[in-house]
Chain A
Amino acid sequence: MAITREQVEHVARLAHLALSDDEVERLTGELGAILDAVGKVSELDLTGVEPTSHPLDLVNVARVDEPEPSLPREEALANAPDVEGGFFKVPPAIGAEPSA
């Protein structure tokens, strides 16, 4: 199953990856070969078979709704590349569309 260069570029945008031209080229070939192999699952007629999303039959786990101490703010921010005034700081997002 072939995948086109345009499809690879589209998926890269969905996945927030700024791939280089070389990477797009290489991945177009590699993903095509992998999709050929995994596409084998479509050989089986599985009409009426229920999908499995989780290997155990677990039901929702609830806990008592009581407040507990959470991670202190300074610890939550300790690994951030940039912080300001107790918040994560990022470059402007509003009014700045992706360049790709």
Chain B
Amino acid sequence: MIDTLRLTAEEAMGLLKSKEVSPRELWDAYRAAIEERDEELHCFLSLVDRPEGDGVPIALKDVIGTKGIETTAGSKILKGYVPVFDSTVAARVKQARLPVLGKTNLDEFAMGSSTENSGFGPTHNPWDLTRVPGGSGGGSAAAVAAGLAPWALGSDTGGSIKQPASLCGIVGLRPTYGTVSRHGIVALASSLDQVGPTTKTVRDCALLYRVIAGRDPLDSTTAEVPPVEIPEAEDLDGVRIGVPPELNEAEGIEPGVRENVERAIELCLELGAETVEVSLPRSVEYGVPCYYLIQPAEASSNLARYDGVRYGLRVGDGTYHDMVERTRDAGFGDEPKRRIMLGAYALSAGYYEAFYGQAQKVRTVIADEHRAAFEQVDVLVSPTSPTVAFPLGAKTQDPLAMYLSDLLTIPSNMAGLPGLSIPCGLSQGLPVGFQIIGPQFAENTLFRVGHALERALEFDYVPERLR
């Protein structure tokens, strides 16, 4: 009997290698878990019927283009779209012989922090079905937390891997910008989007990151990536940790979240790390405003391609212009419309300099502040999300409140930095995420710190109601 709730991807690999379990048995175990629990969770938008590959199965967020498998980005405008080519990430997953279980739910076009903006209904948090799993990659995070997939891939623009990992009590890595190819990924904001793993453990995370990372001739924004090291050490000797007050004492951080994060920092000290005082005076205060200019601006441009001509929905048969406008009005949900409008406004004549131009300069300030901090420390730490998982519907009527869910993940994302979220405890019976940020290309440092802390924390990632 395979306990998919507890089994890590690394352990699954071991079972396959020792032939204790056949690839088919492993696949069937996850399919059985999906049958049993996905009706109430709604992690998957589509399922693959037959395994392709004899490795550990994987789930992919539905922005990852998969040849022959419907890819919707959670939007009705792409309903029925079946890519005719694989994204580079999907090709690498295939090359590693990892069979794809299915495509996971998300906020439409990855715009959101709760998965409630999905065009196909929300995903529920496995720890408490009345609460959100976070977003946009709530489907991938909830699937891993609920044992429906041993590991999964997501994409992160403002926090879409880290924040759902935090709310679902698992591990999520947003890699350095440029380390993972975006060829064949549905684009949200191209100067920010990054694909990364969602897993139960930090070692699983490093193993999956090794599969997907690396330069890709089909994506000119990719860079050379240092060899990935699977973490072993269980101490933090010599590691300098920065605890910026702006990220740790920000308004809106729940007391229970703060307590758990403080305890994790104390544990880091016991493991041999030292803390250094650093600050990010403007990055946090101006991060969200800066992000909500740059991201919608880029999104409004990227989403111009959905015009009813080459793929996806088409509505209306009057003139070409009528058809395009009606298709977009019928196909996009409220949040994409809001962001397209905001972005088009910020880029329009007369407002460009004051909004988009100014935001790009703020971005320089944010990158410089982080660079200065990393002259003194190896990593920065903070809560991943200011709150634990919130109830479904709590923020759907207030877009600004929803945007603040990413208050603590956005600043480092603006600077193109990698960030790892690991669970560090429970508050009100719900998981709290611990964010570890590093300089560009310092994934190995994040894995080292995350692994040692994970061992010391002994957090049980199986949701209490499923134990």
Contact between A93 and B321 (Cβ–Cβ < 8 Å)?
yes
Task: Say yes or no for B390: interface residue by CB 8 A criterion.
Answer: no
Contact A52 B363 (CB under 8 A): yes
0/1 interface trace, chain A 22-46, chain B, CB 8 Å (1 if under):
0100010011011101111110101
> Do B359 and A41 have beta carbons less than 8 Å apart?
yes
Digitize A46-66: 1 where CB-to-B-CB distance is under 8 Å, 0 elsewhere.
100111111110101101000
Secondary structure at chain B's binding surface: helix, strand, loop or mixed? helix
Least CB separation from A99: chain B residue: B322
In this complex, which of B220, B290, B342 has the most chain A Cβ atoms within 10 angstroms of its Cβ? B342
Besides A16-B324, A33-B399, 10 more A-B contacts (Cβ < 8 Å) are: A17-B325, A17-B332, A30-B338, A40-B289, A51-B360, A51-B361, A52-B363, A90-B323, A91-B317, A98-B321
Contacts of B354 in A (CB 8 A): 42
B288 — which chain A residues lie within 8 A by C-beta? 37
Contact A49 B365 (CB under 8 A): yes
Q: What 1/0 mask marks residues of chain B from 338 to 361 whose CB sits below 8 Å from any chain A CB?
A: 101110111010000011011111
How far is B289's CA from A33's CA once the two chains are assembled, in angstroms?
12
Report the minimum CB–CB distance from B329 to chain A (whole Å): 4
Instruction: Please determine whether A40 and B292 come into contact, CB atoms closer than 8 angstroms.
Output: no
Given A3-B345, A12-B341, A80-B311, verify A17-B81 contact (CB < 8 Å): no
Q: Mark B153-188, 1 if CB is under 8 A from A, else 0.
A: 000000000000000000000000110000000000
Judge if B102 is at the interface, Cβ distance under 8 Å. no
Q: Whose C-beta in chain A lies nearest to the C-beta of B313?
A: A81
Check if A15 sits within 8 Å of B300, measured CB to CB.
yes
A37 & B286 in contact (Cβ 8 Å cutoff): no
B302 at the interface (CB under 8 A from A): no
> What does the 1/0 interface line of B278-299 toward A look like (CB < 8 Å)?
0000100110111011000000
Asked if A41 and B358 make an inter-chain contact with CB atoms under 8 angstroms apart, the answer reads: yes
**Among A16, A44, A71, A98: residue with most chain B CB under 10 A:** A16
Would A34 and B318 be within 8 Å (CB), given that A18-B326, A88-B309 are in contact? no
Inter-chain CA distance A44–B342, complex, in Å, is 21
CB distance from B184 to the nearest CB of A (A): 12
Determine whether the beta carbon of A79 is less than 8 Å from that of B311: yes
A2 at the interface (CB under 8 A from B): no
Contact residue among A18, A27, A75, A96 (Cβ-Cβ distance under 8 Å from B325): A18
Sample (20) of A-B pairs whose CB atoms are under 8 Å apart: A11-B345, A16-B328, A18-B326, A31-B338, A31-B345, A35-B345, A41-B289, A46-B358, A49-B365, A51-B363, A54-B191, A55-B178, A56-B221, A58-B178, A63-B217, A75-B84, A81-B309, A90-B320, A96-B319, A98-B321
B348: chain A residues at CB < 8 Å are: 11, 14
Which residues in A have their C-beta under 8 angstroms from that of B309?
A: 80-81, 88, 90
